[in-house]
Structure 1
């Protein structure tokens, strides 16, 4: 299977299935000398693990990470970092009735058409459990970015029709409710709505917003390797993401040029700054020094207990009621996954950017610029 690797320099390969023995990741390209402990990674994994509230699957997994290579005496060695998380609470029997039937909204049919074989136990590689490897690698990327003064912060912007209000926004509130919403009042309303939908055996979608602070201007390339394009690819690769925005996103299509343009001004240190940030911190595919703001739209969990029409692998029409343990909403546990993908992308582009200018290469290697070399023309 191709397509399990992301990145150019900061390269990540995930492996494993939902009901296999383990989930894991290999991270290559992380510089040597970064301080790293398993606890740094566990903090991120704990934010996405199941069974933490009534709005997550009841599957009980410790999701305890083990670093197998690439770290010695608390620092990265520059060699591949391999990490594993063992599966301990699989209930494959819950999926026995799905062997010959395609679940609506899932990848069962398309996976079967592509490979002619599929792991029907929870979706295999198509399962949301695959994101454990992404989060583990993203935690390492976040540590790397933090050492450069860059932070990545995501949160639930909306659940169904309930969206965080700007005047009630408090990032400190994010970790105080089970939906990871930075708005206490809206979170309470969203919880009531979720309980109502759960009572109807239905699921709910929502939007995750992510803010990247401290990214210097000049990251990303102007054509195929745009910063926003790379972020879009990374975030859209998360299962259940159906929409992506940077800055004002689709609202920009309804604005006038005079409204959408971000004027420039001189900052406190006589540096160039923007007056507004409709562009979301990226101009022409290159970071402009402002906050990078992105959003990901997640569809409702496709596994619902209602009776749904479908077909068998032989094309025979039938109905199915999905059993097992499923999240009634994906969004809360996906918040840290979006953070991870944003961190991985940013780390990769930062490393790639080191080779973009000759003067910086010369400065790094302690060489004089060409015009300063004695006898140069």
Structure 2
């Protein structure tokens, strides 16, 4: 299977299946000398692990990470960093029935058509558990960015029809509710909405918003390797993401140029800034010094207990009710996945941007 690697200079290769022995990632291209320990990675993994509320799967996993290589005496060595998380609570028998049919909304059918074979235990490589490797890799990238005073922060913007109100926006509130919403009132309303969906044996989707602050101007290339294009690839590669927009996004199509254009102004420190940020921090595929603001839309969890129609391998139309342990919504756990994938994409483009100008290469190597 190709396509398990992301990045050009800083790369991650994730591996493992939902019900295999474990999952993990190999990160290559990380500069030597970055202070790193397992606790740095674990605090990110703890945000995505299951069983933290009634709105997540009851699968009981500690998701404890082990760093196997690439770190010595608390610092990265510049060699590949391999990380492992053992699977401890697989209930593969819960999935034996689905081997004979295709679950609506899942990759069962497409896997069979592409490979002629699939791992039906929890979805194999298509399982949300694959994101453990992404989060572990992104935690390293986030630490690299922090050393440059660059911050990445994601949060739940909407769940189903319930959206965060701008006048109630409070990032500190994210830590106070299980839905990771920066709006206490919206979080309470969203919980009621989810309770109704669960009672109906159904699921819900939502939107994650992310802000990258502190990026220098000029990251990204003006043609195929635009910052927003590479960022979109990173985010749209996350399972269940069905939409991506940056800045005003789709709303920009309804605006006039005079409304959408961001006027340039002189900041108090004498640098060039913008009066507004409709562009979301990207102009011509390159960062413009403003905050990069983007959103990812997540579909409802496809595994639901309500009866659905499908087809089995014998070509018969049947009705099914999916068993097993599933999240009624994946958005709260996906917040950290979006955040870490954004961090990784930004870190990779930072490293790539170092070769853009000859004068800076000469300055680096001049003795």
Which interval holds the TM-score relative to the shorter structure? over 0.9
Which residue of structure 2 aligns with residue 116 of structure 1?
Answer: 116
Deviation, structure 1 residue 317 = 1.0
1:334 aligns to 2:323 (yes or no): no
- Distance, in Å, in 1 between the alignment partners of 2:319 and 2:193 is 27
Runs (5+) with no aligned partner, structure 2 = none
SS of 2:82's equivalent in the other structure is strand
SS in 2 for 1:253: helix
Q: Deviations over 1:183-235 (max 9, x none)?
A: 00110000011001100000000000000000000000000000000010000
Please name the residue that 1:3 is paired with.
3
Q: CA deviation at 1:268?
A: 1.4
Please name the residue that 1:225 is paired with.
Answer: 225
Q: Distance in 2 between matches of 1:3 and 1:146?
A: 28
- 2:244 aligned counterpart, secondary structure: strand
Equivalent residue for 2:25? 25
Matches within 5 A, 1:1-377: 1-366=1-366
What's the secondary structure of 1:191's corresponding residue? helix
Q: Distance in 2 between matches of 1:315 and 1:362?
A: 65
Cα deviation, residue 365, structure 1: 1.0
Task: Report how far residue 297 of structure 1 moved.
Answer: 0.1
TM value normalised by structure 2: 0.99
Q: Secondary structure at the match of 1:69?
A: coil
Gaps (5+ residues) in structure 1?
Answer: 368-377
| Deviation at residue 100 of structure 1 after TM alignment | 0.9
Give the 4+ runs in structure 1 shifted more than 6 A.
none
Cα displacement string for residues 135-167 of structure 1 (whole angstroms, at most 9, x for unaligned residues):
000000000000000010000000000000011
Supply the RMSD in Å over aligned alpha carbons. 0.5
Counterpart CA distance in 2 for 1:366 and 1:103 is 60
Q: Residue 59 of structure 1: SS of its match in structure 2?
A: coil
Q: How far off its partner does 1:319 sit?
A: 1.1
Per-residue CA shift, 1:309-356, capped at 9, x if unaligned?
101122211111100000000100000000011001000000000000
Which one has a bigger Cα radius of gyration? 1
Deviations 1:101-145 (A, max 9, x none): 100000000011000000000000000000000000000000000
Q: Distance in 2 between matches of 1:180 and 1:341?
A: 18
SS of alignment partner, residue 144 of structure 2: helix
SS of match in other structure, 2:31 = coil
Distance 2:313 2:231 in 1: 36
C-alpha distance in structure 2 between counterparts of 1:159 and 1:311, whole Å: 30
Aligned to 1:370: none
> How big is the shift at 1:366?
1.9
